[in-house]
Structure 1
């Protein structure tokens, strides 16, 4: 209740010109009406541990039960992101991944609300300015939308979204459920209506093996699921009901409640505020990427420690001294062998032969003088 009051106060203060309106999309810090801080706090209030990441990265492979990807683009997952999600199916720990596409944000609705409030307070000129702001924002967002285009990339959850004939405000969504105990018939599928305040301008086209979980009043899909062996990937058409400004409406909190029912209870959630991959803009070497993925750092660290211990044991300067065999230094042959070893270290054959000849010459002279004496 306090969080809702603060956001409502923010809207009122902004309308009076006390603050500059922050409309940064998917911002976690600050007071953006299009941010996701309230959404993250609601998940924390429900018992989840929520970490917010600005992009997809290798750290998300391990330690998270749920990964929520809020994409800033207007199309389905990119080819790079699709490949990353497929890697999560094989290597990741997450039980479910929720991919949320982008449609409208809260900004046009905000200016329309301001215009209505100004009309009620007999400020027609300011109301016209606010409506102009709303139209400009809506035109900007509609021009940013992608049309019905084909893509060579095989979709993983849904393709590009088809534009609707008009912008719609959904007041209810239908939650599709299946009665496992019922016989196979049309009555097996059940629908539960949930109140919301969800503005939407286009519809996603799910892949063939996707199961529709949420629909609007015209049975257009809003949330779909594709089940894999160890993981489920969900696709949501729009992040509108998850934004700060939209969550000031209590009915949109129903959407978050129903979304939370899909997640692991009290699990650890990674909230990614873009579909961008970290390595797409900051390429790392393959070795560095390998070292950043658990448990590779532990393995490499133990190998490095083993190498240090081996060096301390092997080299006599650092390790235990070697035991040399005892040699009788009084034996003259020992000196000759030592002299030969020294000459061998020089690796100069001519020099060694010269020294040996000089030594033999001195020995001959010594023997001759000894005979004369």
Structure 2
């Protein structure tokens, strides 16, 4: 855990951007769930803090909105689904094939059954002044309502192949932790909430509908065993699934109550997040982490549909632009080189001559024209001729007129 000791400043900076001024104006509290990139990454429900911990541990991190061939070249995939649905058949098959095709690959699923904005407003209520407490209570009620509406779209019990969920349970805060991850963790300082039960799949439940000769059957040796990495009051919170015949693994986590941005302010939660990262580091030079950021159903692209490697110039290869597009692009490039660049040393332009009388005459003419007074211009011209001929010159009197003279 020593390699994460320098992250305190990071979390303080990250969360300060989230909660700064939120008690003054509840409208600016960012609550977008499961994102690490963009402005949504600073949400109380974001994953930027966790991704920074992966970076601190030496991994390269990228975000993806779909399952593409480029994403499947990663060593670790972390998925925070934005709804309560687990992996469907397409995603399940893509993940199993990805695990089978490489070595030491890890797929992390973090359940949705938690909302950090509710915790945030609960803490605000206890700290704000009396005149602001009513507004904080209203915001907390709205957050609970939004979360309950999202949960109500799901059935009480669901089966997602790797695990089952049972949401017909009361909300509870874990008091006792057990399992390998619980070592050196002070459970009294954690605040892990459970709103549903996560029931990991067994070997029999995964493969009961297949036989070994079925071409559509998943790899039988990929998921044979399971181990509870972290349990709360006897209920599994984090579960490892894998096999002694494969180096790849799946890690199931009930919810993000200790992995999202706001919960990671807690030092004990950061220790648990560090244990997750250590579990993903299988000492096979795993280097890349993909955060799968989805909204609703997950799109799985094959090589033909993937946009990987696009340069933005593909429109030049489409008819009818392909007939003239390349030629036009070539001539535009030549024109740009001809008009805009300066090759060699820049020239020094000749300095303007201030003794050129012609320029003086032109300047005086421009000034007289600007007055838009023909009589005044004629008078000034007449004075000029008189001076040049030596005649009497109209001079302004030095005597100042006063009233009554």
Structure 1 alignment gaps of length 5 or more:
178-190, 294-373
* Counterpart residue number, 2:67: 56
* Counterpart residue number, 2:43: 32
Partners of 1:58 and 1:292 within 8 A in 2: yes
What CA distance in whole angstroms lies between the structure 1 residues aligned with 2:263 and 2:155?
A: 25
SS in 2 for 1:51: strand
Partners of 1:162 and 1:205 within 8 A in 2: no
* Counterpart residue number, 2:9: 2
Q: Offset of 1:78 from its aligned partner?
A: 1.9
Q: Offset of 1:292 from its aligned partner?
A: 6.1
1:16 maps to 2:24: yes
* Counterpart residue number, 1:296: none
Deviations 1:126-174 (A, max 9, x none): 21221222123123313322343355xxx43202333322x22235532
Partners of 1:39 and 1:242 within 8 A in 2: yes
Q: Offset of 1:102 from its aligned partner?
A: 0.7
Q: Structure 1 residues 292, 108: CA separation in 2 closer, same or farther (over 3 Å shift)?
A: closer
Q: Offset of 1:276 from its aligned partner?
A: 4.4
Q: Structure 1 residues 273, 173: CA separation in 2 closer, same or farther (over 3 Å shift)?
A: farther
Of the three residues 170, 175, 183, the one matched with 2:174 is: 170
* Counterpart residue number, 1:187: none
Q: Offset of 1:41 from its aligned partner?
A: 0.7
Partners of 1:55 and 1:276 within 8 A in 2: no
What CA distance in whole angstroms lies between the structure 2 residues aligned with 1:248 and 1:168?
A: 21
Partners of 1:175 and 1:193 within 8 A in 2: no
Structure 2 alignment gaps of length 5 or more:
1-7, 204-224, 310-405
1:254 maps to 2:271: yes
What CA distance in whole angstroms lies between the structure 1 residues aligned with 2:71 and 2:226?
A: 26
Of the three residues 215, 228, 250, the one matched with 1:233 is: 250
What CA distance in whole angstroms lies between the structure 2 residues aligned with 1:150 and 1:19?
A: 35
Partners of 1:174 and 1:193 within 8 A in 2: no
Q: Structure 1 residues 89, 156: CA separation in 2 closer, same or farther (over 3 Å shift)?
A: farther
Q: Structure 1 residues 61, 113: CA separation in 2 closer, same or farther (over 3 Å shift)?
A: same
Deviations 1:168-199 (A, max 9, x none): 2235532248xxxxxxxxxxxxx736233222
| Aligned pairs, number | 266
Q: Which runs of 4+ in 1 moved over 4 A?
A: 289-293
What CA distance in whole angstroms lies between the structure 2 residues aligned with 1:202 and 1:129?
A: 29
* Counterpart residue number, 1:106: 116
Partners of 2:76 and 2:280 within 8 A in 1: yes
1:132 maps to 2:138: yes
Partners of 2:111 and 2:254 within 8 A in 1: yes
Partners of 2:108 and 2:251 within 8 A in 1: yes
Q: Structure 1 residues 287, 235: CA separation in 2 closer, same or farther (over 3 Å shift)?
A: closer
1:41 maps to 2:52: yes
Alignment of 1:321-360 (within 5 A): none
What CA distance in whole angstroms lies between the structure 1 residues aligned with 2:175 and 2:267?
A: 12
Of the three residues 272, 289, 298, the one matched with 1:269 is: 289
Of the three residues 304, 315, 338, the one matched with 1:288 is: 304
Deviations 1:308-330 (A, max 9, x none): xxxxxxxxxxxxxxxxxxxxxxx
Partners of 1:111 and 1:134 within 8 A in 2: yes
1:207 maps to 2:210: no
SS in 2 for 1:23: coil
Partners of 1:98 and 1:233 within 8 A in 2: yes
TM-score (norm 2): 0.59
TM-score (norm 1): 0.64
Deviations 1:206-229 (A, max 9, x none): 112452323434211111122144
Q: Structure 1 residues 17, 86: CA separation in 2 closer, same or farther (over 3 Å shift)?
A: same
* Counterpart residue number, 1:87: 97
